[in-house]
Amino acid sequence: MPLFGFRPSPDHPWITALLFILLSAVSTPAADQAKAKKADKKPGNATVDKTTAKEKKQLVKVLEKQGKTEEVIREALNTITPADRRQALQTVQAIQSFVKAVEAAEKASDSGTESIEKLLADRPKKAVEKPTLLPADIDKLMEVSLAKSGIQAASIAADGTFLRRVSLDMVGLIPTPEQVAQFEQSKDPEKRLKAINKLVDSPAFAANWAKYWRDVIRFRATETQAKRFQPLVLENYLREKFAKNTPWDEIAREMITATGSNEENPAVLLTMAQESKAEETAGEVSRVFMGVQIQCAQCHDHPTDSWKRQQFQEFAAYFSGVRSVNFSGNQIAAGQRVFGVRAAGQAAHKVANPKDPSDMQQFSPKFFLGDKSIDLPVNAPVDARRVVAASYIASQDNPWFAKAFVNRVWYALMGDTFYMPVDDLGPDRKGKNLEVLDAIATAWSKSGYDIKWLYQTIAATQTYQRESRAGDPTASDESAAGANCPTRLRADQILQNLRQVTGKPILGVKPPENARRARADMAKSKAAGVPAPLQGPAGRAILKAYQTFAFDPSTPDEDVVGTIPQALFLMNAPDLNKAVEATDGSILKKILDESSNNDSAALKALYERTLARLPNSDEQKVATDYIKEVGNRNQAFEDLFWSLLNSAEFLSRR
Amino acid sequence: MNRTKTVVNVQTSGHGVVSRRGFVGSMAASFGLSGLGWTDLMAASADDLRNRKMSVIVLWMQGGPSQFETFDPKPGHQNGMETKAIDTAVPGIQIAEGWGKTAAMMKDIAVIRSMTSKEGNHQRATYALHTGYVPTGTVKHPSFGSLCAAELGEKDFDLPQIVAVGAQQVAGAGAGFLGVAYEPFSVENPLEMPSNVVTPVDSGRFNRRLDVLGRLENAGFAKTAGADRVREHQALYKQTAGMVLSPRVRAFNLDDEPSELRDAYGRNPFGQGCLLARRLVEQGVTFIEVRSNGWDMHRGLKETMSKNASQVDPGFATLIQDLKQRGMLETTLVVWMGEFGRTPKINPNGGRDHYPRAFNVAAAGGGVKGGQVIGKTSDDGSEVKDSPVSIQDLLRTFCSTLKIDPSKENVSPQGRPLKIVDGGKLVTSLLA
């Protein structure tokens, strides 16, 4: 349930910086000289940069008359020097030679397409079969594993616990008291399975997991300009894919090979997040899709893993030859610029030898996992490089592709997993329970990477549905957890649940003094299409609230810690404090009115609403004593409501 | 792999929490948040804290201030843009007009005119000045400020160890892989108390709420699946409540300061931010960055500069004077800097563009020898002629004045050891 109809955007911090970047030009001594020369001739004339832009425009006009596409012209423009450009403007002959360059670029891209098909002929075709692995099969494997380590499995969680957990895991929201009651009363023996399937098939599932993956990418983005890496556009893209249950390999292939503007093809945003730099993109693609941290071998042979610098650079060579560029031309105001990834016709991955910076080493693309790899020439066309890379990464003959995804999903649903951290696996890593991972990953791979099947299957296991245990004493680096382990909720989940429970948006600010103004801000944001940046004070508040609670979802839960600003927010935010008051129209007032003078009933209703469970007898005693101590029913309940929203349990899935 | 557990100053009293799952201990019978005992935390007075450690105040000129119109004027040269040079308290040292108050404090200030780097992009240069490293996707480097907080900060301090004043977002200013404990606490507007620091209920009720929260958690989640989560949560709440209830938190309230002093600092967010910085250092905060906007003067430099200087000059100068009067200057390093300098040639829009090859930094206090100029640029200002100082040199030298070992290594989450400052050489002339 998005706040005000918008999801919080994480890109706010870069906006100021973005404006600086857009308005500035780096000066170099050479440029200065050129500038000085120009200034000598025509004092007060435009700068070199501007002249070049003008020249480019003129050239584009000339060529467009000849029916050349903008794409090809821009490509050719990038391959010639400014001096050539100037020359091209001056003489007809030069223009003709420039046209030839453009045509050569066209030809190069054509022949590239041809050779890609030829190259991929040797790669195995994807085969999809209905998965035969059942939840019970997973449980059996887990039983064996637990028995081996002598671990007692926790018992199956009660309906209420299960429903809170599965709702948070699939759609990010706790169930309402009504949903819990209905679920508990149902006698349907398949009610859990049905609940799982209903949640996974809901649009909120796609929205929840799109935010997860958006943050996976966003937290490691080196691109700091909001306009270039648009997290909300990425999120929208992923949400659509998850809603359609697009297989994971198709999503991966799209993202690995994407070019174009982020408007036409938001899949470019993974590359944009890494500023389209070959080495950075390679490291991130390997981490996100295979869980292999090969980027550590960027500068030198990996100290503990078997990866060599040579292998990393060969892998990085797949991603060379693309650039993050402005797709909207120079005329358009900064606010409307559209960025994307553009591929050059040819590329060469050249890197300075770390031992001798003057020695530029050239690497041809090669895949570091598996036995053999298609030999691509050192100057292979850019499109071919990335298509071939995707054919190795998102492929059924690459087990790490499936394992990396399963490892993450298992962690998100169980609070414990096979390889930790979730994005650090690979042949050199020691995992645990790997027979379980192998079984699931193999089945999922055969299913053609059916995402919903994976979630539904894991959630339907007894393993998933066990009670959670306090810091499960049996789970260790070697053995499986015999219980579900609690983990912390993500920022968007916390904010959504605060809103659901209190019935008010909680943004850590004073409640809007001018509600009309806030609504106008929201309307403005909406009218602007993708709300980046969100407009006005309300938009800023959403961003800030989100940032207060946000963390990198690849971080192990034990490293995700509360912060002072988070505690301050929950303790003292004026809107939260207002929302817990027992004033007319408030949630608490309703609960207190409905329970008339029965404190115990009111307490139960409050617990159900906030924590989706009933208070235990000790909690009831603490609360009853407290109500007596305070001597003011409304105030005491306000304090109790505040306490439940400030509790560790409210912030956790369990 | 050295994964440091980074609970906010909590560190769970030595249990380390290598794995949350290792914890099976029993909860303390009563959490007793109401008796927070912040008076204990106050046992070490601000003076003691100051005596034990150094503090740093960075005045950050976001956008890249022109050296020609600040501390390296070229009045005789056409690149100097008719900017006049004015005398300072130190005979022979001249700085640009508009900085009269700072000029009067020159005996305490060292100007480095020979800063040089290769980073001409705002983001990258800002990151480099803040971390001493260039950005990479593999590792998020901790800022120098966060490193200072980690190296110099008191463990049981009840205010944040690192504070950033100003709404701007600054690349590389965060804690990086050091984790949230050393993330700067952000004060967007120094004229107001920071967000949510003040409790909207009275302190009696606030304590009462914390107490019942603790009791409910101990009776509920702590007994089922959440023992370790509750324990950490309560530790965080204890620390945060300690801050909310701490008398030190008044440091954020500038109303306590005499009106004349507030005037002297300049009645603008930057000036008042400098005053806040002094108040925070006084209370024992290790690192404060006060940010000033609008130094990216590609056009109309003359007018913008005079406006910016009129805000930063009084703040900078009064800060030094105020620290000195209170005997705090020796233990407080004050650094004025931006991400790069600006082009010697004036562009057609009457501005200057980015120029990392030669720029200037000013520093005072905290073990810096004032009253001097280090390095010089050519007559046209286009290159460093003497004693070039790199970003690493600068940070290494600051380490020396702050008594931090620059070669100490922190281990990134990928297991890569990273020195506090990698390379660089000591600028010995800067040391007092």
Q: What pLDDT digit, counting tens, does each position of A126-165 carry?
A: 999 999 999 999 999 999 999 988 888 999 999 999 999 9
Q: Give A544 or B142, the one with higher predicted confidence.
A: B142
Mean pLDDT on A603-622: 97
pLDDT at A82: 62
Mean pLDDT of A190-214: 97
* Shared-domain flag, residues A274 and A382: yes
Q: Which residues of B touch A470 (CB under 8 A)?
A: 23-24, 222, 224-228
Chain B interface mutation, best of A15, A20, A423, highest count of B Cβ atoms under 10 Å: A20
User: Is the pLDDT assigned to residue A227 strictly greater than 90?
Assistant: no
Considering the domain architecture, whether residues A347 and A417 belong to the same structural domain is answered as no
Q: Is a pLDDT exceeding 70 seen at residue B199?
A: yes
- Lowest model confidence (mean pLDDT) among A220-224, B61-65, B226-230: A220-224
pLDDT given for residue A427 in this prediction: 85
Average pLDDT of chain A is 82
Task: Answer for the pair A435, A141: CB distance below 8 angstroms, yes or no.
Answer: yes
Interior angle at CA A634, CA A631 and CA A637, nearest 5: 90
Q: Do B220 and A616 touch (CB under 8 A)?
A: yes
Does residue B314 have a pLDDT over 90?
yes
Select from A485, A511, A536 the last residue of a domain.
Answer: A485
Residues A135 and A460 sit within 8 Å (Cβ to Cβ): yes
**Which residues in chain B (321-380) have CB-CB distances under 8 A to chain A?**
343-345, 347-348, 353-355, 357
Q: How many angstroms separate the CA atoms of A222 and A11, rounded?
A: 13
Cross-strand pairs, B109? B364
In this prediction, residue B432 carries a pLDDT of 87
Does position B96 have pLDDT exceeding 90, yes or no? yes
Phi, psi for residue A205 in degrees, rounded to 5? -60, -50
Question: CB of B307 within 8 A of CB of B337?
Answer: no
The neighbour count for residue B1, using CB atoms within 10 Å, is: 10
Q: Considering only CA atoms, which of A342, A341, A359 is closest in space to residue A350? A: A359
| pLDDT band with cut points at 50, 70 and 90 for residue A338 | confident
Q: Which two tokens stand for residue B125?
A: 């240069």
pLDDT, residue B9, reads: 30
What's the whole-number mean pLDDT along residues A302-317? 84
Query: pLDDT band for position A42 (50/70/90)?
Result: very low
Contacts of A646 in chain B (CB under 8 A): 209, 213, 237
Tell me which fold the domain B42-193+253-430 belongs to.
Alkaline Phosphatase, subunit A (3.40.720)
| pTM for the model | 0.77
For the cut 80, the answer to whether the pLDDT of residue B102 exceeds it is yes
In this structure, the answer to whether residues A457 and A377 fall within a common structural domain is no
Closest residue in B to A618 (Cα–Cα): B219
Cis peptide before A533 (omega within 30 of 0): yes
Residue B22 has its nearest CB partner, among A222, A471, A561, at A471
**Closest-CA distance of chain A to residue B128, Å:** 14
Q: What angle do CA A610, A615, A618 make, to 5 degrees?
A: 140
Please give the Cα distance from A614 to A588 (Å, whole number).
16
Higher pLDDT, A50 or A613: A613
Query: Which residues of A fall within a CB distance of 8 Å from B26?
Result: none
The alpha carbons of chain A give a radius of gyration, in whole angstroms, of: 29
- Say yes or no: A159 and A112 in one domain: no
Cα–Cα distance, A227 to A273 (Å, whole number): 11
Asked whether A232 and A197 are in contact (CB, 8 A), the reply is no
- Helical axes A159-171 vs A451-459, angle rounded to 10°: 160
Q: How far is CA A403 from CA A43, A426, B172, B194, B381, in A?
A: 64, 9, 34, 45, 58
Mutual angle of helices A536-549 and A515-527, in 10-degree steps: 80
pLDDT for A334 beyond 90: no
Mean pLDDT of A306-322: 91
Contact A24 B208 (CB under 8 A): no
**Rounded Cα gap, residues B88 and B100, in angstroms:** 8
pLDDT at residue A288, rounded to an integer: 97
CA–CA gap between residue A584 and residue A589 (Å, rounded): 6
Q: For residue B397, what pLDDT is reported?
A: 97
**What is the pLDDT at residue A110?**
56
pLDDT in tens, B253-303: 999 999 999 999 999 999 999 999 999 999 999 999 999 999 999 989 999
Whether residue A212 sits in one domain with residue A328: yes
Which of the four pLDDT bands, split at 50, 70 and 90, describes residue A503?
very high
Q: For residue A304, what pLDDT is reported?
A: 65
Q: Are the CB atoms for B353 and A24 separated by under 8 Å?
A: yes
Last residue of a domain, one of A393, A412, A435: A393
Mapped onto helix, strand or coil, the DSSP state of residue B162 is strand
The answer to whether residue A3 is domain-embedded is: no
Concatenating the DSSP letter of every residue in A286-334 gives HHHHH---GGGGSSS--SSSS--HHHHHHHHGGGTTEEEEESSTTTS-G
Contact criterion met (CB < 8 Å) for A572 and B216: no
- What is the spatial distance between Cα B342 and Cα A26, in angstroms, rounded to a whole number? 10
Q: A590 and A450, same structural domain? A: no
The pLDDT-based confidence of A117 (bands split at 50, 70, 90) is confident
* A164 located within any domain: yes
Residue B357's pLDDT is what?
A: 96
Chain A environment of B229 (Cβ under 8 Å): 486, 488, 648-649, 652
B207 pLDDT band (50/70/90 cuts)?
very high
Interval A548-572 mean pLDDT: 89
Pairing of strands B332-338, B55-61: parallel
Band the pLDDT of A436: cuts 50, 70, 90: very high
Half-sphere exposure at residue B189, Cβ-oriented, CA atoms within 13 angstroms:
4
Does residue A7 lie within any of the structural domains? no
Residue B94 has pLDDT above 90, yes or no: yes
Where residue B147 falls among pLDDT bands split at 50, 70, 90? very high
Do A151 and A297 sit in the same domain of this protein?
no
Nearest-angstrom CA–CA distance, A328 and A337: 6
Question: Domain end: A95, A120, A145, which one?
Answer: A120
- Which residues 149-188 of B are in CB contact (within 8 Å) with A? 160, 168-169, 171, 179-181, 183, 185-186
Number of domains in chain A: 4
Do A101 and A366 form a contact (C-beta atoms < 8 A)? no
- Block residue for tokens 């400030």: A646
Per-residue pLDDT tens digits for B27-60: 232 333 333 333 333 333 444 444 458 999 999 9
The predicted pLDDT at position B14 comes to 26
Pair type for strands B287-292 and B55-61: parallel
Q: Which domain holds residue A24?
A: 12-120
Tokens standing for residue B28: 């303390």
Q: Write down the pLDDT at residue A59.
A: 64
Nearest to A288 by CA among A200, A394, A176: A394
Q: B232 pLDDT band (50/70/90 cuts)?
A: confident
* Residues B115, B389: Cα–Cα separation, whole Å: 5
Do A546 and A641 sit in the same domain of this protein? Answer: yes
Which among A274, A481, A648 has the least Cβ separation from residue B229? A648
Contact B344 A563 (CB under 8 A): no
Task: Say how far apart CA A154 and CA A132 lie, in whole Å.
Answer: 27
For the cut 80, the answer to whether the pLDDT of residue B18 exceeds it is no
Both A443 and A407 in a single domain? yes
Which phi and psi angles does A393 have, rounded to 5°?
Answer: -75, -55
List the 245-304 stretch of B: residues with Cβ below 8 A of A. 293, 296, 298
Pick B337 or A63 by higher pLDDT: B337
Residue A430 located in a structural domain? yes
- Put simply, whether B6 touches A (Cβ < 8 Å) is yes
The shortest C-alpha distance from A477 to chain B (Å) reads 9
From the CA of A25, how many Å to the nearest CA of chain B?
6
More confident residue, B390 or A294: B390
Residue A461 lies in a domain: yes
Q: What are the φ and ψ backbone dihedral angles of A289, each rounded to 5 degrees?
A: -95, -20
Inter-residue contact A472 to A481 (CB < 8 Å): yes
Residue A6 lies in a domain: no
Closest residue on chain B to A554 (Cα): B413
Which of A77-81, B239-243, B315-319 is predicted with the least confidence, judged by mean pLDDT?
Answer: A77-81
Query: pLDDT digits over A526-541, tens only?
Result: 555 444 445 567 777 8
Residue A127 resides in a domain = no
Decide which of A38 and B212 is more confident: B212
pLDDT value of residue B263:
97
CB–CB contact A17 B171 (8 Å):
yes
Average pLDDT on A18-23 reads: 24
The answer on pLDDT for A109 being more than 70 is no
Residues A236, A377: one domain? yes
Q: For residue A636, give the chain B residue with the closest CA.
A: B209
Those of residues 41-60 in B touching chain A at CB distance below 8 A are none
Using only C-alpha atoms, what is the Rg of chain B?
23
Do A385 and A405 have their domain in common?
Answer: no
Taking a C-beta distance cutoff of 8 angstroms, is the pair B116, B356 a contact?
yes
pLDDT at B8: 31
Nearest CA in chain A to B168: A16
* Token output for A647: 């509790």
In a domain, A631, yes or no: yes
Is there a single domain that holds both residue A280 and residue A389? yes
Is the pLDDT higher at A335 or at A625?
A625
C-alpha–C-alpha distance, residues A545 and A550, integer Å: 9
